[in-house]
């Protein structure tokens, strides 16, 4: 199977987790895009979705699913999103698509976070994928110097602005032996909006598309 076929396979499996739910959370990225396409089949049951990015909102609206403000709904039953890396303890690196802050907010406000990945995303130790850090633009250089002190090599995602009007530093060569501690340490740097480690609010369920099967890690 191609990587896209694996993404489709896992997206299809995720549909069963949102069946019958009036309000769901929807993440961002190419895997989630397949999931959104499949939502079209059950859209009659869906009152609306809370979206993690402008791109996802656009796609949801295009298939006729209303986009709801997080502030106007209570806790969300299920949030479905992809990831750039997943470790065996369901800790994640996210933000390759730049939507990490809204994704983290929706994950926090959701009772169940179902993460959908193809098997290429599974790693023993996080950190091969550069860790995205969203920063207030005026703080970019300061934050970059602080990240160097932590042992990383931050690269500015040039000419890129998040949906929140902020910038991204992609931090290479981070030794992520303790994701819980590193998530907190980076978030404590003044000027950081958030970073792409999902260790404190990790996934509740990871679905892994493998071709012959979809593994479920709970
Ligand atoms: C976007 C994300 C995505 O979930 C992550 O980048 C995975 O994307 P894809 O499904 O395209 O591989 O965190 O900010």
Answer whether residue 187 shows pLDDT above 90: yes
pLDDT in tens, 7-16: 999 999 999 9
Told to judge if 103 belongs to the known catalytic residues of this protein, a careful annotator would answer: yes
The verdict on pTM exceeding 0.75 is: yes
Read off the pLDDT of each residue in 201-212 and give the average, rounded to a whole number. Answer: 97
Q: What's the mean per-residue pLDDT of the chain?
A: 97
Given the residues 85, 103, 134, 183, select the one marked as catalytic. Answer: 103
Read off the pLDDT of each residue in 67-75 and give the average, rounded to a whole number. Answer: 96
Q: Ligand 1 center to residue 30 CA distance, Å?
A: 7
pLDDT band at 175 (very low <50, low <70, confident <90, very high): confident
pLDDT at 113: 98
Q: How far apart are CA 50 and CA 26, in angstroms?
A: 6
List Cβ neighbours of 14 (8 Å cut-off, separation of 6 or more): 35, 80, 114, 116, 207
Task: Please give the share of the chain, as a percent, with pLDDT higher than 70.
Answer: 100
Residue minimizing CA distance to atom 7 of ligand 1: 83
Read off the pLDDT of each residue in 197-212 and give the average, rounded to a whole number. Answer: 97
pLDDT in tens, 48-61: 999 999 999 999 99
**Contact (Cβ atoms closer than 8 angstroms) between residue 31 and residue 7:** yes
Q: What are phi and psi of 17, to 5 degrees?
A: -80, -15
Q: Is the CB of 84 under 6 A from ligand 1?
A: yes
Q: How far apart are CA 163 and CA 67, in angstroms?
A: 16
Answer whether residue 138 shows pLDDT above 90: yes
């Amino acid at each position: 199977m191609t990587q896209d076929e694996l993404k489709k396979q896992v997206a299809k499996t995720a549909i069963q987790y949102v069946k019958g739910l009036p309000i769901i959370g929807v993440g961002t990225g190419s895997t989630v895009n397949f999931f959104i396409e499949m939502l079209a089949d059950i859209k009659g049951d869906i009152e609306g979705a809370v979206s993690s990015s402008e791109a996802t909102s656009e796609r949801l609206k295009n298939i006729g699913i209303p986009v709801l403000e997080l502030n106007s709904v209570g806790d969300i039953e299920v949030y479905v999103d992809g990831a750039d890396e997943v470790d065996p303890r369901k800790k994640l690196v996210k933000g390759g698509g730049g939507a990490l802050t809204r994704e983290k907010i929706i994950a926090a406000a959701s009772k169940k976070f179902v993460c959908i990945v193809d098997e290429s995303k599974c790693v023993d130790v996080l950190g091969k994928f550069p860790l995205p850090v969203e920063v207030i633009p005026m703080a970019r250089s300061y934050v970059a110097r602080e990240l160097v002190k932590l042992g990383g090599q931050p690269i500015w995602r040039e000419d890129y602005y998040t949906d929140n009007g902020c910038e991204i530093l992609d931090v290479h060569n981070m030794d992520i032996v303790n994701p819980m501690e590193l998530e907190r340490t980076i978030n404590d740097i003044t000027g950081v909006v958030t970073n792409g480690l999902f260790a404190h609010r990790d996934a509740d369920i990871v679905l892994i598309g493998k071709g012959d099967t979809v593994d479920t890690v709970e």
